[in-house]
Copies of this chain bind each other. A is one copy, B any other.
Amino acid sequence: MRNKLGAIIRFHRKRSGLTQLDLAELAGVGKNLVYGLENGQESVRLENLLKVLRVLNIELDFQSPLKEAYLKEHTNADR
């Protein structure tokens, strides 16, 4: 296992009882993309990574020292 994200994805996939091919089809991406993700290919389109994470019910969020300040200024939804 070459990287953290790959390990996370693989773990969640297996827990869901899916093969790489299953996951790829559910996410609407190619099988090689899933393989690459799990094996540490860092150069992936964010769009495709998110498709895969969505199927696995994983969500990304950010951490930073300014997070509090950011949230304070964005109570009103900007999306």
Contact = CB atoms under 8 A, between A and B. Distances in A.
A27 to B, nearest CB: 15
A12 interface: yes
Interface residues of A, number: 36
Nearest to A7: B78
- How many copies, total? 2
Contact of A43 (B3, B47, B63, B79): B47
Contacts of A3: 79
Nearest to A42: B47
A10 to B, nearest CB: 10
A69 B3 CA distance: 18
A33 B47 CA distance: 15
